[in-house]
Amino acid sequence: MRSGRAFLILMLLCMAGTVFAGQTNWLPRYNENSAGVSEASLDFPVSLAWKYTTNDDNDVKPVATPAVGDRMVYVPIGDTIYAVDRKTGSLVWDQAAGDDIFSSPALVDGMLYFGSRDNNLWALNAEDGSVEWRYRTGGNVDAPPIIVDGVCYFGSDDNRLVALDLETREPRWQFEAAGSIKAPPLVYRDVIIVGSQGRRVHALNREGRPIWSNTIEPRSFFASPVGVRNTVIYASGRDLHARDLRTGRAIWARPFRAGGPIVGSPSVLDRTVYVGTRDGSVYAIDTSNGRARWRWPQEGAVEPIASSPVIVDDMIVFRSGKRDVVAISLDGSRTLWRYTLPEPEERVPTRPDRDMMFPDDDWMMDDMREERAPIAPEMDRDFDARRPTERRRRDFEDMLDPSVAVTDNALFVVAEDAVVYGFSNLAPDNVPPRLSDPVLEVPGRRRERVQFTPELVDADNFPERYADDIEIPGTPPIFLSLELYDEGSGIDADSINVTINGEAAEYTYDAREGLLWYIFDPRGAAANLPNGVQRIEFEAVDWRGNAVRKAGSFTVDNRLRPPEPPRPVRPERPDDMMDFPDEMMPEEYMRRR
């Protein structure tokens, strides 16, 4: 009897080991109906566990969302797939694919499938990156593949949707669309929905025969359609449409129109569809009537949202702009976590901009006007950071950002500088945020700014003598800025506190620049800071609860005249060059003369 039990336990252990050794499947939108709902469990906050720098010298920005397996994260950047250990961030293997990869990979039964701009659909061994096979098309393969029941559905710039049998590696059928296909198709129930850049959306049956089609305006279809009950929901331009899956009849009285283009795929849960838009908002929309339930943020907007939101547990996770990763509650009422990726180093372009494929779409233009946002716009009433708006054409890859890849206890994101970040709620983080590099700016003579560098020390052990080091008149505007950054779990913006002489003071926090500002600039009648020592304390807490408190001080004396701006120091001519003729002097010295 005991031997029988032992044999049974041994068999169960072997089976468990076999399951563990297998590769988890991963679809670009998490499930076959492209709902964008992850079955993972993830508790916030999460902390940075590792980052991997690819050192990719290609100036093409990342677009594809990583695929996540049991042991590795598969990241397409430039023309290469990188397989990175999901726990340590170390490189396991990489594989070049002939040309740029903008297609998010699918991981099924140990095989990695993705498209490339070398006109091929690729199939790699996910364990070692070896090439198993390639399927040749007549154009760029930018759309992510969708794999259902052993068939890979994918489109390309040759205007064809292909249903490729993965066992025979032969197409079961091909459908000719009216334009290039940039979005993955929806394979839902017995219907396939595909949109093209030819201003058409098509519904097909499983044999590839047309059921219905509709015109879309404008000529843009980037996002994957999503299925809910007997309805298909898809985005084109700023509009979100809902149609009967089998007849194409409009379900809503009118499409939902957002304030900016919808380029990321919608996510749907229960009777609500969630979309991010390039106007900097997330909308929750009733699937029955197309009306917005709520909008995040309720006031204003964040950076353009050009990726697909992910629903995990009772949260929505998405990218805001190029550098922010945000998690909000499913009802849009609370921000649960926000992390700002470091600013990328400036790269010199190595290729000219190409013409965008949508020269006649006016909806693109307002969104693509580039404006340089000023640092702390309240700094100077006379300062005008605006510049004439520019209209420039953009390519498909310029319109999209990689989405966040979510799995149990972790998430992964690719920054625009080709650095891969791995976050985990199991990663240790006991380091407080960094408050550093204070700069005090006051009005000087000739209306020029004068900068001072106050001493910044721990608030609990602050010697008041530091106030004697800087004496200024109290004439506004006066600015004191500090660098505030936390690499671990990010800054909880609601935790920031600034006091001056023990009383709460207004401040500005720019997460993208990593700057915290105290600005003294009263409106109306001029009001100087009072004479005496001004002690300012800054406090911030990260999402893990680690706190930092720093203090600085200076002395105000309103009898003082505005300080003189420092004059540039002119370099003196070295003695050993006095007798040298000009043509023999170093070039840099000649430029300074």
pLDDT cut 90: percent of the chain above it? 68
Lowest mean pLDDT among 37-46, 191-200, 384-393, 471-480: 384-393
Say yes or no to pLDDT of 547 above 90. yes
- Give DSSP secondary structure letters for 193-221: EEE-TTSEEEEEETTS-EEEEEE-SSS--
Say yes or no to pLDDT of 575 above 60. no
Phi, psi of 41 (to 5 degrees): -120, 125
Rounded-to-integer distance, Cα 171 and Cα 155, Å: 12
Say yes or no to pLDDT of 364 above 60. no
pLDDT one-digit tens code per residue, 49-70: 999 998 766 677 899 999 999 9
132 or 14, which is more confident: 132
Average pLDDT over residues 368-392: 36
Q: What's the Rg (C-alpha) of the chain?
A: 29
Average pLDDT over residues 173-196: 94
3-state secondary structure of 565: coil
E strand or H helix that includes residue 21: helix 2-21
The bridge status of strand 419-424 relative to strand 47-53 is: antiparallel
Same fold: 21-424 with 434-556? no
Domain 21-424: CATH superfamily, name plus number: YVTN repeat-like/Quinoprotein amine dehydrogenase (2.130.10.10)
- pLDDT at residue 314 in the model: 93
Say yes or no to pLDDT of 591 above 80. no
Confidence category of residue 354, pLDDT binned at 50, 70, 90: very low
Average pLDDT, the chain: 84
CATH fold of 434-556 reads Immunoglobulin-like (2.60.40)
Handedness of CA 206, 116, 95, 344 (dihedral sign): negative
Confidence category of residue 343, pLDDT binned at 50, 70, 90: confident
Residues 6 or more apart whose CB falls under 8 angstroms from that of 515 comprise: 375, 376, 481, 482, 483, 484, 509
Neighbours of 539 (CB within 10 A): 17
Confidence category of residue 32, pLDDT binned at 50, 70, 90: confident
Q: Using CB atoms within 10 Å of the CB of residue 76, give its burial: 0 to 12 exposed, 13 to 18 middle, 19+ buried.
A: buried
Rounded-to-integer distance, Cα 87 and Cα 516, Å: 33
Average pLDDT over residues 81-97: 96
Rounded-to-integer distance, Cα 244 and Cα 266, Å: 17
Phi, psi of 59 (to 5 degrees): -85, 5
Handedness of CA 570, 575, 576, 580 (dihedral sign): positive
The DSSP call for residue 495 is G
Q: How many helices (H) and strands (E) does the chain have?
A: 4, 44
Rounded-to-integer distance, Cα 531 and Cα 108, Å: 71
Confidence category of residue 310, pLDDT binned at 50, 70, 90: very high
Phi, psi of 332 (to 5 degrees): 75, 10
pLDDT one-digit tens code per residue, 254-307: 999 999 999 999 999 999 999 999 999 999 999 999 999 999 998 888 899 999
Rounded-to-integer distance, Cα 578 and Cα 92, Å: 60
Say yes or no to pLDDT of 392 above 70. no
Domains of the chain, by residue range, sit at 21-424, 434-556
Long-range contacts of 342-349 (CB under 8 A, 24+ apart): 342/415, 342/487, 343/512, 343/513, 343/514, 344/415, 344/416, 344/417, 344/419, 345/417, 347/59, 347/417, 348/59, 349/59
Residues 6 or more apart whose CB falls under 8 angstroms from that of 77 comprise: 54, 56, 58, 62, 101, 414, 418
pLDDT one-digit tens code per residue, 404-422: 999 999 999 999 999 999 9
Q: Using CB atoms within 10 Å of the CB of residue 33, give its burial: 0 to 12 exposed, 13 to 18 middle, 19+ buried.
A: buried
Rounded-to-integer distance, Cα 446 and Cα 443, Å: 9
Say yes or no to pLDDT of 459 above 60. yes
Confidence category of residue 578, pLDDT binned at 50, 70, 90: very low
- The torsion angle over the Cα atoms of residues 72, 75, 76 and 81, rounded to 10 degrees, is -30
Helix, strand, coil shares of the chain as percentages rounded to 5? 10, 40, 50
Q: What's the pTM value of the predicted model, to 2 decimals?
A: 0.82
